[in-house]
Structure 1
Amino acid sequence: MNTYIIIDDEPIAHEIIEEYCNMLPHLKLEKNCYNAKEAILFLNENTIDFMFLDINMPKLSGLDFLRTLTNPPKVIITTAYEEFALEGFDLSVNDYLLKPFSFDRLMKAINKVITNDNHSPKKEGITEVDSSSRKQKFFVKGDKKHYYIDANEILFIEAYGNYTKLFLKNEMIISNEKISYYEIFLKSKNFIRTHKSFIVPLDKIRLIEGNRIQIENHSIPIGLTYKSTISKLYNN
């Protein structure tokens, strides 16, 4: 379960974020904070995975509040002011959402924070195995549903027009994202593009023969453009 808080002086902002997050499994709202002081008091006593943080708040702005934290949780900025984006990223925020934002855009931001725990505080009682397992999980939107999948379960990904097919061990999911999205998103998880229409996980490759890659009982093509990249896997 990934825990979060919302820090924003506008009640409507809380309602929108809560409504979106309630559509996603494995997210738990721990606290609604309407100013920085409330958030400081809560964080002094509690540990969370990430927070939604507004910038323009009375007395203490969101960015000034962030500077007061010595070990902050992961941060998704939610604001109507794009001019603070550079300053926000200088403070190592994980994403920057401009209001009004869509559900899809918020979901991509959440994918970033739950698959990258470089800035995540250690939680008592959670082992490294648990943390590593959570790092590999992310949300996929498809067929009006939101799947929470483990990257370790993916056998390969195939382009499907403006969509993609994610072939897992026990099912196939059609995602609303293009294959170019997954090429970037999964690169850090040891996935590699083998063809204009295919991405595979390196640890699932059983053998490479000619212009084909074998993964379980699936034969994946190697495109001419990607052949030199693939050959580097076994010609070191």
Structure 2
Amino acid sequence: MEHTIKCLIVDDEPLAGDVVEQYIRQLDTLSLEGRCNNALEAFHFLQQHKVDIMLLDIQMPRLTGIDLLRSLPKRPAVIITTAYRDYAVEGFELEVIHYLVKPIPFNRFLAAIHKYYQLPAIPTGHGTPTAPPASGTLPALITGTGPALAPDPFIYLKADKKMVKVLLKDILYMESLRDYVRVKTADKDIITYQRITYLEEKLPDELFLRNHRSYIIAIDKIRAFTAATIEIGTEELPIGRQ
């Protein structure tokens, strides 16, 4: 029997919580176990209930979502849902599986759930890990639609007088070279005639971070960081003063 993924929404904004609840109820493989209006309520809820995914806001009264994560010795998979982009690095440090910036489109919500299925072993909330589907994709999440997700997201970059397709998952970072941008992947560099601010607007906030006026980095490619630098692969990139 296919495991139903148990979800908990933690958000002090009722309308934002309603949107996420609506998304959950559209997917046959998800079930909503509870909604908490603040982090303290969520802390007590998790002492009494097992859930697989917690969809967590950050800015809440008395106790923030980040504080809640740090207070939990054992926690479910976490998807951050926030109106702020400033906590992506902290989220990475706390091993959240995805970072969604409000307002949250349905396709990005699906991508976050897809990340859960890509975990090496999916915690079921009952102490026994469940292996992800063999196909590596979500199993018919929306009734009657077949596979719910499109192929890996990508962008086209103009380089060498042609449009080059680049998968977002392959990008390590982007570096501004005045009127050009160098897009660094694991196996090649692509120089495109483009402003880095334009690419920043096109890239999903939950996957990429503008860490410096000259750099955009892929959040899931961060190996380590300090207050001044971030390590991506074998390279060390600066963090801007802002």
Count the aligned residue pairs: 155
Aligned amino acid, residue 151 of structure 2: E
Does residue 1:68 correspond to 2:71, yes or no? yes
> Which moved further from structure 2: 47-56 or 109-118?
109-118
Runs of 4+ in 1 over 6 A off after TM superposition: 140-144
Which residue of 1, 8, 13 corresponds with 2:11?
A: 8
TM normalised by structure 1 equals 0.57
Aligned amino acid, residue 147 of structure 1: G
Cα RMSD for the two superposed structures: 3.2
The residue correspondences of 1:1-236 to structure 2 (distance < 5 A) are 1-116=4-119, 118=121, 120=123, 123-124=126-127, 126=128, 131-132=130-131, 134=133, 138-139=137-138, 146-147=145-146, 176-177=150-151
Q: Residues 143 and 60 (structure 1 numbering): CA distance in 2 closer, same or farther, change over 3 Å? A: closer
Q: Residues 100 and 147 (structure 1 numbering): CA distance in 2 closer, same or farther, change over 3 Å? A: same
1:144 deviation in Å? 9.5
Q: Which runs of 5+ in 1 are unaligned?
A: 150-174, 186-236
Q: Residues 180 and 31 (structure 1 numbering): CA distance in 2 closer, same or farther, change over 3 Å? A: same
Which of 1 and 2 has higher RCO (CA within 8 Å, sep 6+)? 2
1:8 deviation in Å? 0.3
Q: More helix per residue: 1 or 2?
A: 1
* Residue deviations 1:10-42 (CA, integer Å, cap 9, x gap): 110111001112111110000000001111111
Aligned amino acid, residue 89 of structure 1: F
Query: Larger Cα Rg: Structure 1 or Structure 2?
Result: 1
Q: Residues 44 and 146 (structure 1 numbering): CA distance in 2 closer, same or farther, change over 3 Å? A: farther
TM normalised by structure 2 equals 0.56
SS of equivalent to 1:66: helix
1:178 deviation in Å? 5.3
Aligned amino acid, residue 177 of structure 1: P
* Residue deviations 1:129-171 (CA, integer Å, cap 9, x gap): xx1255756337899954368xxxxxxxxxxxxxxxxxxxxxx
* Residue deviations 1:170-191 (CA, integer Å, cap 9, x gap): xxxxx6435869x898xxxxxx
Q: Which runs of 5+ in 2 are unaligned?
A: 156-166, 170-242
Q: Residues 117 and 57 (structure 1 numbering): CA distance in 2 closer, same or farther, change over 3 Å? A: farther
Q: Residues 104 and 46 (structure 1 numbering): CA distance in 2 closer, same or farther, change over 3 Å? A: same
Does the CA contact (< 8 Å) of 2:117 and 2:138 recur in 1?
no
State the identity as a percent. Answer: 35
Match of 2:237 in 1: none
Q: Residues 64 and 14 (structure 1 numbering): CA distance in 2 closer, same or farther, change over 3 Å? A: same
